[in-house]
Homo-oligomer: A and B are copies of this chain.
């Protein structure tokens, strides 16, 4: 492995001068530069990125913690993060978590070890308070309402849009409504937002049995559909947590040859359009862009991105 000292020795100049021409720093005489560049080329030399990072005390890496990569929430978010990171010459490292607290803790530790300049949690299993503690080791951004955690955050402004959606259902005369979510009420801010919006609109608690969680994929949606079709014929509308998921949900009703409930999707996916489902577009790519900006920026301002309810 050839290094900067070799270049220095062979060119007859010092390492610092070599470093300067490598980094286009300060003034270096034209001939010195040429001589050095010649040796660089001859030895096929390339500076070592890790050594550089070490010396500079900065990696230009941001870690993105994500539960799984196959949900549109995450792909859209990652997309936005990548776009912004690219523009700022940062690199994006994907950190799969499955909401596993131990894993998340491990990622926090790697931040502490300066493997990344910042960490973005697209979602999290660990309590916010725990994340907050690690802020002293590097910037940590979350993608949900930070409440009083003090963490920098961007997130889709969900409640208002959920209200619009539920109001739509109410206007259509639906009174028994199912709700599908990814995680338990206790664990998930999104689930909480959905339920809160429901209760705002209907001025009544959402029956627990209508609040079905653990749904992440199309297949999960189908399972959920099986649950509802077998148990709750009175449910005439369902707020699903994804167009693809709504598609799965629908499958179960088709299989059972029962009339379809009125379905609302989310994420504005092609499958939703195909079925002409009303949906919610949360503009997660934008959330991603802002999340990244918070990750490297100085400002700690929180940003809520408005989402929209769409009748396909």
This chain's copy number in the assembly: 2
Question: Would you give the 0/1 interface string for A250-286, flagging 1 where the beta carbon is closer than 8 Å to chain B?
Answer: 0000000000000000000111011100000000000
**Bound-complex Cα distance A153 to B75 (A):** 25
**Interchain CA distance A69-B81 in the complex, whole Å:** 11
Q: Are A51 and B54 in contact (CB under 8 A)?
A: yes
The answer to whether B69 touches A75, judged by C-beta atoms less than 8 angstroms apart, is: yes
Whole-angstrom distance between the alpha carbons of A86 and B93 in the complex? 12
**Is A115 a contact partner of B247 (Cβ separation < 8 A)?**
no
A218: Cβ under 8 A from any B Cβ: yes
Q: Which residues of B contact A271 (CB under 8 A)?
A: 269-271, 273-274
1/0 per residue A23-49: CB within 8 Å of B? 000000000000000000000001111
A59, CB-defined interface residue at 8 Å = yes
Pairwise interchain contact B54-A82, C-beta atoms closer than 8 A: no
Chain B positions within 8 Å of A247 at CB level: 270, 273-274
Interface of A is mostly: helix
Query: Which residues of chain B come closer than 8 Å to A79, judged between CB atoms?
Result: 69-70
Bound together, the chains give a CA A54 to CA B51 distance in angstroms of 6
Closest to A98 in B: B86
Instruction: Determine the chain B residues whose CB is within 8 A of the CB of A218 once the complex forms.
Output: 270
A-B contact pairs, 11 of them (CB 8 A): A48-B113, A48-B114, A50-B50, A61-B93, A69-B78, A69-B79, A93-B93, A218-B270, A247-B270, A269-B271, A274-B275
Interface, chain A (partner B; CB < 8 A): 46-51, 53-54, 59, 61, 69-70, 75, 78-79, 82-83, 86, 91-96, 109-110, 112-115, 137, 218, 243-244, 247-248, 269-271, 273-275
- Other contacts beyond A47-B113, A82-B96, A269-B270: 5, CB < 8 A: A49-B110, A49-B115, A50-B50, A50-B59, A83-B96
